[in-house]
Structure 1
Amino acid sequence: MGAGSPMQSVLVAAGVKDRKVLAFRRSVEGVPGLMRSIAASGVCSAFHVLDLGRIIDLHNRWLPGVRPYYAVKCNPEPALLGALAALGTGFDCASRVEIQAVVALGVHPSRIVYANPCKPEEHLKYASQVGVNLTTYDSVEEVAKVKRCHPSCELLLRIKGPENSHAKVDLGTKYGAHADEVVPLLRAAQRVGLAVAGVSFHVGSGGSRTDVYSGAIQAARAAFDAAAALGMPPMRVLDIGGGFVAGAAFDEAARVIRGAIEQRFGDLPRVEVIGEPGRYFAETAFTLAARVIGKRTRGDLREYWIDDGVYGSLNCIRMDDYVPRPKPLTVRCHGEKTFASTVFGPTCDSLDTVVTGYQLPEMSVGEWLVFDDMGAYTTGSGTNFNGFRTSDINTILAYSI
């Protein structure tokens, strides 16, 4: 991390330093007040505000003793990556493009985990070229591929955590070795001379249960013990994955994780514990303002069109179970009449519907709707459908004082 305060380090970070950064007082009008001044300056299309101060707050509240490796897939905004790099995080990359984005910021390859259990060969060869030497695996076939394409790479055995149907995205349906596959997979790496540096798991993204961490950490310790029984060199990394949600849910998860690590790994003090938070850092740091570009009145019903939708950054409605609660940017009178309203995105597809039957005050074309918590799986997974490009939605940098 650079000299000076965390904010000074962030403001001179790659991805931030060459861009205008606006200051605002969180205690006065907050992000909505800043957005009103931005809209009044003549901005005419949807935009995000990234609060860099929020990133620093979240970093300060992260799990003590667990090094965060930000999951780039959650939101690859360069300013976010640069800010996190300046704060000293590592990065969870899942493809060549993601590795390139992080390396381009000056991040040392040792701060990158190639956290994709099934990698294209050309991506794996690129990781070898730039010195990213730690990756995950959960199949015998992947062992052979790594040996062929990146023989100096160390491995993290990805195991399947306990069932977690409460998660927004249950990654266990796609990745993770079952308990009876752990020993064969360790032997497969041992046979070809690849080092297994540790174990990783992911209990699912955005889940409400915290007990699953106890079970996953217990299973990870069993894999550590299995490797020791096979005469393999001592493992040194425990990767507890991601899916964390900022707030009270995170505090409870942190309590469970600390207790489970102490119970299961307290006798292995040299094991480095890392995590792969994505939405924890990104979700609440971004706010979206979308402009009303069309309107139709049908009796007491109101229909509005805005210039972002489910094919743009609001794809999180379908992909990530985001529940939109739009608010007018313009300050309204208390008790103002509201109408059952439908809000559409800008494309011609009827599926491009943001909310239906949602109570809003009377809006006019040219006004703005604001959406909070718009940083997780939004712009990074948007499309160019119907000619409306997600990349055209500008991100404005700000910091709260």
Structure 2
Amino acid sequence: MVQLTGLQTAPGLKSKNILSLRDSSTEAIIELIQSIINCNPDVDEPFYVMDLGAIVGLFKMWNHFFKNVQPFYAVKCNPDPAFLGTMAALGAGFDCASRREIEAVLALGVAADRIIYPNPCKPESDIRLAAKVGVNLTTFDSIYELSKIKKHHPKCSLLLRLKAPDESGARIPLGTKFGALPEEVEPLLRAAKNAELTVIGVSFHVGSAATNSDTYREAIALAKSVFDVANKIGGACMRMLNIGGGFMAGTQFEETTNVIKTAIETCFSDMPELEVIAEPGRFFAETALTLAMKIIGKRVRDQLYEYWISDGIHGSLSCIKNNSADLMVMPLACYSDSDNIMCAAKVRYQSTIFGPTCDAMDTILKGELLPELEVGDWLVSPNMGAYKKSMGSGFNGFLTSDTPVYLGYSCGN
């Protein structure tokens, strides 16, 4: 397993200052954030702290529970170069869903055979790029995609993308947009055969942050039925299963991996050499980053405390458009009370938190219980590594891409 000395020379991390963290606890992260603020007292912009040690620990966990499943990290989840460089150094492959994602990963020196292009609907120019640089594995779920691939990348290996069952409890389901239906499978396989394209397996995705592990069992059974259809009609050399993403770090991960391994052993008992890959994003990214946001404005009306902070729903906090429960904020009173920076014992008041833009909808939390804070204090949010910075729009000139990322490495991973 790669340790700090190995990461310091990895692509995307070279010449970067990696700060020391005593461990991966919230308290240790807060200490580092406090030191960064102390060194930059006039800074108003939000910033991230990325714990590289936490990423190393998560990769170790993946290999422990999923040692025969190769992860292809979903770049869209968090495309920060330091994050990608860490994943590359650890041995991950990469799930790139666009031309720019492919180019970003190749720029780190990653070989093209460590990249998959699992977007079922691709611009023709992007398919031509994949052919040019040697990205030779992609997905499809319609005959129209097959015609584009036949024209621009006929030597590419293909995975038939299935629509996963809808019972995954995913935070962001994907089945309404992607995936072939059972009745479409045989016509698609025959179309690929007639076009002399090589289908090597099946992929599915149960949705982002899935909570029902049993959905994987159903999806794997559906995938096996596709292998059986391919065997019946001939022309396909089926050897790969892509189980997609949806994984979350935590106690549920072990349960999920057990369900998946049992389902594969049951459904594919006749294929001991089956190659299994996955597209985890949130699993590796979510808990590895913490966001610090400065309080830039304040108002008090009839005992309602209102605060403006330096990030909002058009930036790193776009997640609250789907579910405000995704966001946890901790007050860091480094300006108004340096002796009690976490405000643990203070009286708390009903508070509203606004983002920095001129959009009235840029309201982050209402009814949040906070101690009284002052302009210059900060709010800290853990678990902000997945689909946060990457989804910012830059509205009103607040560019999420400009948000600094400080690198730390916690011991014990």
After TM superposition, the score normalised by the length of structure 2 is: 0.94
Structure 1: distance between partners of 2:365 and 2:284: 26
Q: Name whichever of 25-34 and 60-69 sits farther off.
A: 25-34
Note closer, same or farther for the CA distance 1:293–1:334 as it changes in structure 2 (3 Å cut): closer
Structure 2: distance between partners of 1:184 and 1:19: 52
Q: Report the number of matched residues.
A: 398
Q: Name whichever of 225-234 and 33-42 sits farther off.
A: 225-234
Give 2:158's match in structure 1, choosing from 139, 155, 159: 155
Residue of structure 2 in register with 1:59 after alignment: 59
SS at match of 1:171: coil
1:304 is the counterpart of 2:307: yes
8 Å CA contact 1:199–1:220 kept in 2: the answer is yes
Structure 2: distance between partners of 1:27 and 1:211: 31
User: Where do residues 362-377 of structure 1 align in structure 2 (5 Å cutoff)?
Assistant: 362-377=372-387
Structure 2: distance between partners of 1:389 and 1:240: 34
Give 1:272's match in structure 2, choosing from 269, 272, 275: 275
For residue 279 of structure 1, report the CA deviation from its aligned partner.
Answer: 0.5
1:393 is the counterpart of 2:403: yes
Structure 2: distance between partners of 1:320 and 1:257: 28
Which residue identity lines up with residue 56 of structure 2 in the other structure?
A: I
- For each residue in 1:224-261, what CA deviation from the matched residue of structure 2 results, as whole angstroms up to 9, or x when unmatched? 11111112243111000001111012121111001101
Residue of structure 1 in register with 2:391 after alignment: 381
Structure 2: distance between partners of 1:145 and 1:178: 21
Note closer, same or farther for the CA distance 1:332–1:194 as it changes in structure 2 (3 Å cut): closer
8 Å CA contact 1:171–1:202 kept in 2: the answer is yes
Note closer, same or farther for the CA distance 1:132–1:27 as it changes in structure 2 (3 Å cut): closer
8 Å CA contact 1:316–1:322 kept in 2: the answer is no
Which residue identity lines up with residue 169 of structure 1 in the other structure?
A: I
User: Where do residues 99-110 of structure 1 align in structure 2 (5 Å cutoff)?
Assistant: 99-110=102-113
8 Å CA contact 1:164–1:204 kept in 2: the answer is no
Residue of structure 1 in register with 2:85 after alignment: 82
Structure 2: distance between partners of 1:77 and 1:373: 15
For residue 336 of structure 1, report the CA deviation from its aligned partner.
Answer: 1.0
User: Where do residues 174-189 of structure 1 align in structure 2 (5 Å cutoff)?
Assistant: 174-189=177-192
Give 2:18's match in structure 1, choosing from 16, 21, 25: 21
Give 2:239's match in structure 1, choosing from 236, 239, 246: 236
Q: Name whichever of 162-171 and 114-123 sits farther off.
A: 162-171
Which residue identity lines up with residue 38 of structure 1 in the other structure?
A: I
Note closer, same or farther for the CA distance 1:334–1:285 as it changes in structure 2 (3 Å cut): closer
Structure 2: distance between partners of 1:250 and 1:225: 29
1:360 is the counterpart of 2:358: no
Structure 2: distance between partners of 1:102 and 1:322: 32
Residue of structure 2 in register with 1:8 after alignment: 5
Structure 2: distance between partners of 1:186 and 1:362: 63
Which residue identity lines up with residue 55 of structure 1 in the other structure?
A: I
Q: Name whichever of 90-99 and 233-242 sits farther off.
A: 233-242
1:213 is the counterpart of 2:223: no
Structure 2: distance between partners of 1:117 and 1:333: 49
SS at match of 2:321: helix
Residue of structure 1 in register with 2:31 after alignment: 33
Structure 2: distance between partners of 1:220 and 1:395: 40
8 Å CA contact 2:8–2:16 kept in 1: the answer is no
Residue of structure 2 in register with 1:98 after alignment: 101
- For each residue in 1:284-336, what CA deviation from the matched residue of structure 2 results, as whole angstroms up to 9, or x when unmatched? 10100000000001131110000100001111211566522211124245431
8 Å CA contact 1:164–1:207 kept in 2: the answer is no
Note closer, same or farther for the CA distance 1:27–1:134 as it changes in structure 2 (3 Å cut): closer
Runs of 4+ off more than 4 Å: 319-322
Mark the runs of 5 or more structure 2 residues left unpaired by the alignment.
Answer: 334-340
Structure 2: distance between partners of 1:320 and 1:117: 27
Residue of structure 2 in register with 1:47 after alignment: 47
Q: Name whichever of 245-254 and 18-27 sits farther off.
A: 18-27
8 Å CA contact 1:205–1:244 kept in 2: the answer is yes
SS at match of 2:222: helix
Note closer, same or farther for the CA distance 1:16–1:320 as it changes in structure 2 (3 Å cut): farther
8 Å CA contact 1:245–1:280 kept in 2: the answer is yes
Residue of structure 2 in register with 1:171 after alignment: 174
Note closer, same or farther for the CA distance 1:106–1:319 as it changes in structure 2 (3 Å cut): farther
Note closer, same or farther for the CA distance 1:333–1:94 as it changes in structure 2 (3 Å cut): closer
Note closer, same or farther for the CA distance 1:299–1:268 as it changes in structure 2 (3 Å cut): same
Q: Name whichever of 259-268 and 287-296 sits farther off.
A: 259-268
SS at match of 2:132: helix
Which residue identity lines up with residue 336 of structure 1 in the other structure?
A: K
User: Where do residues 241-260 of structure 1 align in structure 2 (5 Å cutoff)?
Assistant: 241-260=244-263
Structure 2: distance between partners of 1:322 and 1:78: 28
